[in-house]
A = this chain, B = another copy of it.
Amino acid sequence: MSNRPLDILNSVLNSPIIVKLKDDREFRGNLQGYDMHLNLVLDDTEEIKDGKSVEKYGTVIIRGDNVIYISP
């Protein structure tokens, strides 16, 4: 059972991921950390809404209950 959701997150620490939120926002950044609620910490983050880059951030903490899916 080494492919559980949290195992996969652990295996992509420091790598780029895409995070899709329920309000249709998308974040792209390097995964710096996470917890069991799927709260996420991204670095070098870009926020995309309706297909357009709307903001750049250093670090972003995303609350897990907003997440639809995460793709490494």
Residues of A within 8 A of B (CB): 1-9, 21-23, 25, 27, 32-35, 38-41, 45, 57-72
Contacts and interface: CB of A to CB of B under 8 A. Distances in A.
B65 A65 contact: yes
A57 B41 contact: no
B41 A3 contact: yes
A70 B33 CA distance: 14
Given A2-B33, A5-B40, A60-B69, 15 more contacts: A1-B33, A3-B32, A3-B41, A5-B34, A5-B39, A6-B35, A8-B59, A9-B61, A21-B68, A38-B63, A58-B72, A61-B71, A63-B68, A63-B70, A66-B69
A35 B4 contact: yes
